Amino acid sequence: MLTQTTTRVLEPSDLDAALAVLDRDPVANAFVTARVRIAGLDPWRLGGEMWGWYEDGMLQSLCYAGANLVPICATERAVRGFADRARRAGRRCSSIVGPAEPTARLWQLLEPSWGPAREVRSHQPLMVTDRMPADVTPDPYVRRVRKDEMDTIMPACVAMFTEEVGVSPLAGDGGLLYQARVAELVGSGRSFARLDEHGKVVFKAEIGAATDDACQIQGVWVAPEYRGRGLAAPGMAAVLRYALADVAPVVSLYVNDFNTPARAAYRRVGFQEVGAFMSVLF
């Protein structure tokens, strides 16, 4: 039996069908779902195109093509279709990121024309919890960052990003886009920090992507001189308390597999591994 397949750029009228695909995995798809629910499918508002993979006229898989290339509920045939479109368009993204298996296959198909990558992180555990830990007391000094504290939180955000990604977010446009994103999180009450007696950030984290079903903690960072003092787990517990109370019933994050201290802190707070992401950095 012949099966008709095709890929195309989705339009605003495809929103309901796209959301139906995204809702198949609310946790893994939280980043893209949050953007789509706010911006719809208009490329200018979304910050990129949404590609759809159709089989027999039914939308089966998605791929967000913006600053990141993100395969979503992507079957093997969909991955091949997305790779063909990406190859023709040329690389415009700074990373490929998504569930490990389809992302690995997508990169395998794109590497001959897009490679080499600056770094490939092939296994980043996806961790989830829906409750507070019984044996970790939230750090009472972790609080929401105020709008007038941008100058306080920004150096910590830059340090975290540079350490995590390997390049400064201030490169290129001088950090305008990154500063706007930090300001957005602060303004929405989703940026958290603990300050020392001198007003310096010693722990920080944000609740990034957020939908009614799930949210994602990101940007977790402890100042180097404060590491090893047990601040991470109580700090995470404090952010988790805010997330569960104010944002969504399920909280997720993903972490580099080589970051043993972070993984231990997250497990202590009750996060459990439910899958894995992969990131290809350019």
**DSSP symbols for 146-180:** PGGGHHHHHHHHHHHHHHHHSS-TTTTTTTHHHHH
Q: What is the mean pLDDT of the chain?
A: 96
What pLDDT is attached to residue 149?
Answer: 97
**In this structure, are 94 and 176 located in the same domain?**
no
Q: Give buried/exposed letters for 182-195 (b at 16+ CB in 10 A, else e).
A: beebbeeebbbbbb
Whether residue 32 is contained in a domain is answered as: yes
What pLDDT is attached to residue 172?
Answer: 77
**In this structure, are 10 and 81 located in the same domain?**
yes
Output the domain CATH number for residue 247: 3.40.630.30
Output the domain CATH number for residue 78: 3.40.630
Q: What is the pLDDT of residues 233-278, one digit of tens each?
A: 999 999 999 999 999 999 999 999 999 999 999 999 999 999 999 9
**In this structure, are 64 and 170 located in the same domain?**
no
Cα separation, 118 vs 97, whole angstroms? 14
Whether residue 46 is contained in a domain is answered as: yes
Query: How many angstroms separate the Cα of 11 from the Cα of each of 45, 123, 154, 240?
Result: 12, 33, 36, 36
Is 194:202 a contact under the CB 8 Å cutoff?
yes
Structure token digits, residue 20: 């139906």
Of the candidates 116, 151, 186, which is a domain's last residue? Answer: 116
Structure token digits, residue 1: 């039996």
Whether residue 156 is contained in a domain is answered as: yes
- The yes-or-no verdict on residue 2 having pLDDT over 60 is no
What pLDDT is attached to residue 253?
Answer: 98
- The yes-or-no verdict on residue 4 having pLDDT over 80 is no
Whether residue 45 is contained in a domain is answered as: yes
- Parent domain of 225: 142-275
Q: Which residues pair with 215 in a beta bridge?
A: 210, 251
- The yes-or-no verdict on residue 142 having pLDDT over 60 is yes
- As to burial, measured by CB atoms within 10 angstroms (0-12 exposed, 13-18 middle, 19+ buried), residue 60 is middle
**In this structure, are 110 and 187 located in the same domain?**
no
What pLDDT is attached to residue 3?
Answer: 57
**In this structure, are 219 and 107 located in the same domain?**
no
Is 25:73 a contact under the CB 8 Å cutoff?
yes
**In this structure, are 44 and 102 located in the same domain?**
yes
Closest CA to 182 of 142, 215, 150: 150
Q: What is the pLDDT of residues 152-182, one digit of tens each?
A: 999 999 999 999 988 999 987 888 999 999 9
Rounded average pLDDT over 11-24 = 97
Question: pTM above 0.75?
Answer: yes
Cα separation, 33 vs 39, whole angstroms? 10
* Helix 150-165 × helix 176-187 angle, to 10°: 120
- Say which residue the tokens 């490329």 belong to: 43
Whether residue 136 is contained in a domain is answered as: no
- The yes-or-no verdict on residue 194 having pLDDT over 90 is yes
Radius of gyration in angstroms for the set of CA atoms belonging to the chain, rounded to a whole number:
19
Whether residue 71 is contained in a domain is answered as: yes
What pLDDT is attached to residue 1?
Answer: 44
What pLDDT is attached to residue 181?
Answer: 93
**In this structure, are 86 and 171 located in the same domain?**
no
The one-letter amino acid code at 218 reads Q
- Per the document, the length of the chain is 282
* Helix 232-246 × helix 260-269 angle, to 10°: 50
Closest CA to 208 of 189, 190, 186, 235: 190
Rounded average pLDDT over 183-198 = 97
**In this structure, are 62 and 157 located in the same domain?**
no
- Give the DSSP letter of residue 14: G
